[in-house]
Amino acid sequence: MLYQFSVQLPYTAINLYIEALSAVGIFNYYYEEPIYVTTTSNGYGYETKQQQHIPFYIFAEPEEVENLPDSYTTLIAKQLQLKPDDVKVEIIDDQLDQDPFQTVDLANGWVICYDQESVNMHNQKNVIQLDPQAAFGTGLHETTQDCLRIILDQSFRGRKVLDLGTGSGILSVAAALKGAETVIAVDREAVEREVLLQFGLNELDTNLTVEQADILADDAVLHESGDWIFINIGAEESIALINQHDLLKRTNHLLLSGIVEWNYQSLVELVESGGFTLQQNLQINEWMTFYFSK
C-alpha cells in the first residue's frame, strides 16, 4: 500500500517548500515542471510557465511511517503552511507496470516487440525486437513508424547505409534486417551500447559502426557516403546537414523524416534541385516522411 499526498504549490518557490519538507525527513516527492508545448516554424518547442501553481506529490508507506495518513497530513500542512484540508490523500497501486511498451503492429507484416514473450507470441510475423532505452527511437512515434514502413518495403541487399541521428538504432536495425551489408550509425549522444544491444537482440551480424559526433557543429566533417542516408530529425536540421556535408552528392537514396506539415517545402525543393525524385510520401497526423531517389 502506498499513500499519495498532493498539494498545489507556486512553482517559483518550489525549492523553499522542498527544503521545508526535507527538514522533517520527507524526501519521497515528485513534481513536474510546468512546461508547455509551443508551435515553431520547424515543429515544436517548449517553454516554462513560471507564474503558476503546480501539483506536488508526496509518497509514504505505512511500513515506514506510523499513523498514516493522518500523521503525514498534519506534518505536510504544517511544513508547507497550509490547511490540512489543502492536503489531498489517495491510496495508489504501487505495483509498477511491467510492460509499459505494447507491441507495435506496422500493418505490413512486421511488428516491433519489446520483450521475448511478445516475440514468441508473434512468431507468424516478421519481428523487430527492441529494448527501448533512453535514446530516441522507441518505435512509438509516427515518424519512426513511417520510416520503418518505407525501409521494410525495400531491399538493402549489399547496400551501405548512413543513419544520421540514429538514437536507439531502430532504423539501422530495420535496414540490416532487409539485407544491408554495412551500416554506419551516427549520433551526438553516446549510444553505441544501445545500438549494439539492438543488433544483438535481432541476431544481426551486419558490418556495423557506431560513431558519436555532432555533425551539425560548425567544424564537423562527415567522411562517409552511402547508398542510403536516413535523417529523422526535422526539416531545418536536414537542410543544414545536406548543405554542410553535400549529402546530395553522397547517396542515391534519401529518407527524411521528423518533418511537420507546415515546414517541408524548402526541404523538398532543395532535394529535388539535386536531381532527386520523390518516390514516397507518408504522413501520420502532422508528421511527414519523404523517400527520394535518383
Each residue's pLDDT, cut to its tens digit, for the chain (294 residues) gives: 899 999 999 999 999 999 999 999 999 999 988 877 788 888 888 777 777 899 999 999 998 899 999 999 999 999 999 999 999 999 987 655 555 678 999 999 999 998 888 888 888 789 999 987 644 567 788 999 999 999 999 999 999 999 999 999 999 999 999 999 999 999 999 999 999 999 999 999 999 999 999 999 988 989 899 999 999 999 999 999 999 999 999 999 999 999 999 999 999 999 999 999 999 999 999 999 999 999
**What residue ranges define each of the domains in the chain, with the CATH number in brackets?**
2-92 (3.30.70.120), 104-293 (3.40.50.150)
Question: Do the Cβ atoms of 126 and 120 come closer than 8 Å?
Answer: no
- Angle separating helix axes 265-273 and 235-245, nearest 10 degrees: 20
Round to whole Å and give the CA distance between 232 and 163. 9
User: What is the reported pTM?
Assistant: 0.75
Strand, coil or helix: 215:
coil
Round to whole Å and give the CA distance between 10 and 92. 25
The total of other beta-carbon atoms located within 10 Å of residue 255's CB is 26
